[in-house]
Each structure stands twice: as structure tokens, then as C-alpha cells.
Structure 1
């Protein structure tokens, strides 16, 4: 059963990621992962980010169920749905633009912090996030680096859609996201609490 504290933390993480994505979108930039892929598709097909993001993540749920378990997958699906609903608010906001440098730095920070909170609560936003947590769980591989590799691939492909300069600023944003995630990578793995043995019990065992 999911505790209220965990639900609130995941919701807060989704809000931060949503704000970061909106900053990136209004700066004409993309980010990595399925969110970045969805941003590129939304530019290309002029379709709502919320709908595309939900659809793009569906295939990754199969891998998640097989490798990460049903509980993790359910929480991830709920997180993706929450983010989709939060970003849909953009349809009701007045038109505005964000400078590319500001969008890249602050958007990257918000997405990185939001993902960190989600990872700390055993949740993700699908796609590369699932792979990053899986590789860390199985081999201890830095989840920040996994996201960076996947993100760099997505952003490189997006150069054809958004252009060179926006693409370079987008790369800056994924570097920031990767750095933030890497700083907190040790907090993503649940550690068993050591069993405290009373001194009297030890003494009795030695007697």
C-alpha cells in the first residue's frame, strides 16, 4: 500500500518535471528521454504533448512489468498520467516565450530535481527512466549516465526538427539533468537497516 507521504512526494516530483518541460517547450527546446521524444513529436505533428507522452510510454510498460515488477509499473503509469494531466494545463495558459538559456538551465534543473524525487520514491516517468533504475539495481550503473546516453541520442535526432542553436541549448539542459540525478544516485537504492544487537545479548553469547 502506498503511503500518503510517498504519494505527495511523487506528485511534487511530477509538478517539478511538468514545470521544467513547459519552460523547455516555451523556449523552443527539447529534453531527453520519452519526454524529449514527445516534445519533438509535438513540434513535428503539432499535437498535444499530454496525449503523445501517454501514448509513447505504453510500450515501455511491458518491459517494466517484466523487469521491475507490477507495483513499480503501476506507480510509473500513475506518474506518467499525472504528468500528462499537469502539462495539459499549457493549453489554458496565455502565449509566452522563454529565453533559450533560461529555459535550458532552469528547465533542466526542475526536470532533474523532479526525476530525483521520483527515483527516491521508487517511481519513474517511463522510457529511459525505467532502464536507468533497472541497470542501477542490477549492476550499480550510474542512472545519470544512462539517462545522459539515451537523452543525447534523442536530442541529437531532434536537431533536424528544432535546429542547431536550440539543439545545443537542449544538450545543456540534459547535461544539467544528468548531473542532478548523479548527485543523488545513492539515495535511489533502498538499503536494509542494520540489525542492532544489544551489548548484553553479545555478552551472553560469549559466556
Structure 2
């Protein structure tokens, strides 16, 4: 426990220092603060050894539809979560895409059939946010991390949400949005982006889950 606390403190210190941390590294460190250990987005996730056979099977199932399955997830969620979140549901979605291609199905049926699997992905992605409140380190970062984007990130979330969420609901989404906006490769204008959908998903989940507590 002591080692974990020291490591968390180091992450916070790194991100509140001289601003040298990159936006991608900041996202990875934010994830660690809520218990997410990111794995490579370019390889099959390394789950427990007991699941090795299932992982191998998942990777091979309709592999020619691997990219299309990720695109389907992105299309229905509005953004693409981490690979370890999507991977368990990918084979089923690949199978549905295969059936759509070879049985001349209609697009509405495809989306309806994918919905339960998309719901599973969403629930896995939101699981770290199913807490009463975020750790205090997250609140410390609110007034330090990419501070020049603080107002812009919150305003963008409010704009697309059509309401002003409480900080306890939106703080992680706002920090994540700042990181996305700090990335010069991500344009932000009036058009809704993947980052907007991801942030809104977090805020909405926090709102619903906190109301249910």
C-alpha cells in the first residue's frame, strides 16, 4: 500500500511540475490514478494465463473482420475504448459483420444485433468510474494539469451536454478533455469529436450511477 501511494504521488508530482509531460502520458497517468493499467493498443491484451486459450481463439475468430469490428464499436459508441475493454466482445461483433456481408442483412438489424455487445463494452469501459468520488489526486490535478485549457475543456463538455454537470461528475472527463485538446493532432471546432463522445459517456454514467447510490 505504501509503495502504491508513493507511486501515485510521483505521478501527480510529474503532472503538476513544469508542464513537460505529453498529453498521451498524462492520459496514461490519469488512468492509473483510477486503477486502469493500459496495455498496448497494437496487441492482444495480456489477460490471465488461465484465459490464454480463449484469448488465442478471440484473436483468430473472423480475423479478416478485426478492423471492421473496431470501426463498428467506434460508430455505435462514438469513440473507441482501450483494446483490453473491446477485445472480449470483438469476436461476436466480427461474426455479426460476417453474417451481414454474406447473408445480405440490413444495416438496422446489424446495429440492433451489435447493441448488446456494445453495451458490454461500455459497461467495462465505465467500470473504473463506478465510484462515489474520484481520489484526491484527481482533484489536485484539476488546478494544475494543462491549466490553460481548463475553461475551454469545461465549456466544451457543457456545450455538448446541454447542462452544467457538477465537478464531482465531470472532473475526470474534463481532465481527459484537456489532454485531448492539448494534442495538436486533434482538431476541436463545432463538430462533435470522439473525445466529446467519450467525455459525455463518462459524465452521463457518473450522473446515472451516482443517482442510483
Flag whether TM exceeds 0.5 (same fold).
no
Q: RCO higher in 1 or 2 (8 Å CA, sep ≥ 6)?
A: 1
User: Structure 2-normalised TM-score?
Assistant: 0.27
User: Structure 1-normalised TM-score?
Assistant: 0.28
Between structures 1 and 2, the one with greater helix share: 1
